[in-house]
A and B are shown apart, each in its own frame.
Chain A
Amino acid sequence: MTAACSAALQLGLSIGMPVSKAQAMVPGLQVLQADPSADAASLERLALWVLQRISPVVAVDAPDGLVIDSTGADHLHGGEEAMLEALIGRLTMSGVTARAAISDSWGAAHALARHVAEPIHVQEAGTLEDCLAPLPLSALRLPPATLSGLHGLGFRRIGDLLHQPRAPLTRRFGPELCRRLDQALCRTSEPIEPLRPAEVVEVRRSFAEPIAAAETIARYIGKLTARLCEELEERGVGARRLDLLAWRVDAQIQTLRVGLARPQRDPKRLTRLLCEKIETISPGFGIEILSLTAVMTEPLEARQTASSLLEEPVADISGLVDVLANRVGARAVYRFAPVASDVPERAVARIAPLSEPVGFGWPDHWPRPTRLLPRPEPIETMALLPDQPPVWISWRGIRRRVRRADGPERVFGEWWKRDAETVSVRDYFCVEDDGGERFWVFRAGDGENSQTGSHRWFLHGIFG
C-alpha cells in the first residue's frame, strides 16, 4: 500500500501494509493501482498552476510536494499568512487536500508542512532550531537505511541530533545526514531549480562575465524581450505575465514579475515594464544568467483599429493600465461598477480597469454624496422621532445647526446576506448646515421599533 485516504487510516490500515492484509482487515476495500508517473505528471501540472499564480520560482518536491520560493512574492498576496490561506483555500476548492508552511529553508519548510502545519504554518524569524527540534527524524528527507540506523542508536527527534558531534555521525552514515541537517538549518544553501514546462516560452542568456550595472541589465532585458516576442509571435500568443529570473554568482535567484491587463507582444512596451522594476533586483556580486519567461500567455490576433472611416478610433489605454498596475499593484487600479443594492457601501463594486463597459449606472432618485466615509462615523444629534431630520448634528467636535434637510430615505437590511439584517433599517437624511455644507447622515433603526437598530445617528457621506 502506498497511499490511503483518511477514512481508510481510521479503520486501522497503514501505509506500507501489504494489500492482501488490508483486504482481509476491511472487506469490500476499494483498491486502485498506484500510478507514480501519472502522479508526477499531475504534480507538475499543479506546480505550473502555482507558478502562474503565486511565485516565479516553483519546483516539484517529489513525490508529494511542491516547493515555492516566495521571496518578493508574498506582499502581492497580502502577506505570508494570507498567501498560504488563499493558496490552501483555492486548492481545497478544486479538491486537493494540502498543507503548507513557510520557513527560512527548503528543508525546514518541508518538515514543518508535513509535521506541524494544520493546514498552514508560518515559522517566525529566529525560531528555526526550536521549531525543528521536536520533529521526528523522518522530517529530514533521509534515506530509509539512515533512518533505521539512527533509530537503532536511540535518536528519535531532530533535537537529539542537533548537539551531537558531527564526525562520528558522518563516519557512520556518510555525508548525507549532516548535509540534510545543515540544509534544514539554513547553514548551506539549497538552490531551487525552477520548473519550466515545455509549453512555457522561455529565453535565457548566460554571461561570461557576471553583470551588475542597472544599464547593462536593462540592455540585456531589451535583447531578451525582443527574442521572447519573436517566439510569442511564432505561436500566435501574447504574454499576460512575465517572469525575469536573475541567477546570481552566489546561486541566489532574484525574481521580477510583471503582469499585463491584455495579452501583449510589443517588445518596447514589455521592456519598459521590466526596466521600471530593475531597482528591485539586487545583483550582489553579479548576475550570471538572465532568463525571461512568459508564464501566462493568451491567444493574440491582429486586430483592426477602426472599422470604418467615420468611426473615431478608440484610444488604447492598456499600456497605461499595465504601467500603473505594475507600479502600485494590480488591485489598486480599478473601475467602479454598479451593484443592485440599496446599502451604499455595497452598491459599488470594483472591476478590472479594462473590462467591458457596464452601460448603466445607479438609480438617481436621490442625491448621492461624492465622498463616502470608509466607515459611518457616530455623531451626536437632536431629532424628533420617528421621521424628523435632526435639528443639529455634532461631528468631529463641531456642532452644526441644520438649516435644511431632506429625507428620510429608508434602506432595509439585506436579509439574504446576514441574519442580523433581517429586520435592520437605516433612515438616511441629507442635511445642510448654516454654512451650506451638506452631509449624508442616517439613523440606525426606524425610530419606533428598537429591534430595527440602535437608534444612534451616523454620518456617512459628504456632498459636493
Chain B
Amino acid sequence: MPARPAQPAIAALRAQIAALEGESSRNRAFLPFDVPELDARLPGGGLALGCLHEVAGGGSGAVDGAAASCFAAGIAARLPGQVLWCVTQADLFAPGLEQAGLGPDRVIVVEAGDDVSVLACMEEGLRHGGLAVVVAEVARLSMTVSRRLHLAAKESGTTGIALRRWRREQDAFDFGQPTAAMTRWRISVLPSASLPVPGISRARWLVELIRARAGESVDIELEACDGTGHLRLPADVADRSAAAAGGRRSAVS
C-alpha cells in the first residue's frame, strides 16, 4: 500500500519521531540528484546534507570501490567548498575524479594508516565545519562510531560519506549490519548501451538505495556521473520505466 497520499496521523507521528531524534527537517537542506524519478522517492526530495551517508560498490566494486567513489565524487562536486577524502590505500586517481566533476583544487587527501585513524580523521573533518563533504574509505563501521560521525555531521552541517570498501568480496556481508547513517547506497556497474560504432558509451550503474531513514528503498538504473557530477536516466530506461510504472498503477487500482 503506497503511503503517497498524505495521512495526517502518519505525518504527525513522523514529526514526533523527528523531534525525539532532534532532527527537525525544517532547517535541513537537501541536495537533489536532478533525476526526478530518484528525487521523488527520497525523503525531502534529495540527499540530506549535514548527515552521514554510506556508499558501497556491488560485486567486485566492494573491493575496488571505483563506481562508489565516482558516485561520492559526483555528490561532492555539486556542493560548494573543500572536500576531505580520508583513505588507507593511495589508489585514488585525480584525473578520474575530475571527470566526475571534482577538480583537484577542491580535494584534500589524508592517508591514514588504518580504519581507526581514518575514522578519527573523518570525525575531525566533520567537526571542523569548514568543509563541504568528508569522504572516508573504511571497511568496518560500527553502530557507535557511525552515531558519533552522524552527530558530528549534524552539528557542523558538513555531509559525511562513508565509502565502504573491503579487502575481499566476501567481507561485504558486513554491509548488512545496522549503522546510524541516514541513507545507504549500493552502486553496481551494469553493461552500458551499445553504440552503432566500436567504442564505449557512458557507464551505467544500478543505483540501489538499500536503506533510508523515514523513506523507502529504491533501485534505479542510471548513467554515471558526467563532467559536473550529475547522473542521468538512460533514454531507453526512461521509456521503459514510464511504461512499467503505468502497468503497475493499473495493477494496483
Contact = CB atoms under 8 A, between A and B. Distances in A.
Interface of A: 315-317, 319-321, 323-324, 327-328, 332-338, 344, 347-348, 353, 357-359, 361-362, 364, 367-374, 403-406, 430, 432, 434-438, 461-464
Contacts of B71: 464
B18 interface: no
Contacts of A344: 93, 95
Contacts of A335: 104-105, 107-109
Nearest to B89: A374
B129 to A, nearest CB: 8
B200 A430 contact: yes
Closest 7 A/B residue pairs (Cβ):
A464-B70, A315-B130, A336-B94, A370-B96, A372-B93, A368-B95, A357-B105
B128 A317 contact: yes
B237 to A, nearest CB: 14
A245 B155 CA distance: 36
Nearest to B195: A404
A356 to B, nearest CB: 9
Contacts of B112: 327-328, 332
B interface, by DSSP: helix, strand, loop or mixed?
A: mixed
Contacts of B189: 435-438
A463 B124 contact: no
B191 A435 contact: yes
A319 B158 CA distance: 16
Given A324-B121, A337-B104, A464-B203, A315 B131 contact: yes
Given A327-B124, A367-B200, A406-B200, 14 more contacts: A317-B82, A319-B128, A327-B121, A332-B111, A333-B111, A337-B104, A348-B94, A370-B97, A371-B66, A372-B93, A404-B192, A404-B200, A435-B189, A464-B66
14 contacts: A317-B131, A324-B124, A328-B121, A333-B108, A335-B105, A336-B109, A348-B95, A353-B108, A358-B105, A370-B69, A370-B96, A374-B90, A404-B199, A406-B200
Contact of B110 (A328, A371, A374, A461): A328
Nearest to B65: A371
Nearest to B67: A464
A71 to B, nearest CB: 21
Nearest to A337: B104
Interface of B: 59-61, 64-71, 73, 81-82, 84, 89-100, 103-105, 107-113, 117, 120-121, 124-125, 128-131, 189-192, 194-195, 198-200, 203-204, 224-225, 227
B99 A367 contact: yes
A334 B128 contact: no
B70 A370 contact: yes
A319 B66 CA distance: 31
A369 B191 contact: no
A311 to B, nearest CB: 14
Given A361-B103, A462-B66, A333 B130 contact: no
B103 A327 contact: no
Contacts of B98: 361-362, 364, 368
B90 A327 contact: no
Given A405-B200, A436-B192, A463-B203, A371 B92 contact: yes
Contacts of B200: 367, 404-406, 430, 432, 438
Nearest to B109: A334
B110 A434 contact: no
A371 B93 contact: yes
B137 to A, nearest CB: 11
B203 A438 contact: yes
Contacts of A364: 95, 98-99, 227
B101 to A, nearest CB: 11
Nearest to B134: A320
A463 B128 contact: no
A107 to B, nearest CB: 36
Given A361-B95, A370-B70, A321 B105 contact: no
B105 A434 contact: no
Given A371-B66, A372-B91, A464-B66, A316 B117 contact: no
A406 B195 CA distance: 11
B70 A358 contact: no
B108 A462 contact: no
Nearest to B204: A436
Contacts of B93: 344, 348, 368-372, 461
Contacts of A372: 91-93, 96
Which of B67, B84, B104, B195 has the largest number of chain A CB atoms within 10 A?
A: B104
A376 B142 CA distance: 34
Which of A344, A404, A438, A464 has the largest number of chain B CB atoms within 10 A?
A: A464
Given A333-B108, A404-B199, A434 B191 contact: yes
Contacts of A320: 84, 124-125, 128, 130-131
Contacts of B125: 320, 324
B61 to A, nearest CB: 8
A336 B104 contact: yes
B191 A432 contact: yes
Contacts of B65: 371
Contacts of A435: 59, 189, 191
A406 B199 contact: yes
Contact of A464 (B69, B113, B117, B131): B69
Contacts of A357: 105
A441 B45 CA distance: 40
Nearest to B71: A464
Contacts of B120: 327
B95 A374 contact: no
B109 A437 contact: no
Contacts of A369: 66, 93, 96
Contacts of B61: 437
A198 B137 CA distance: 47
Which of A353, A362, A370, A437 has the largest number of chain B CB atoms within 10 A?
A: A370
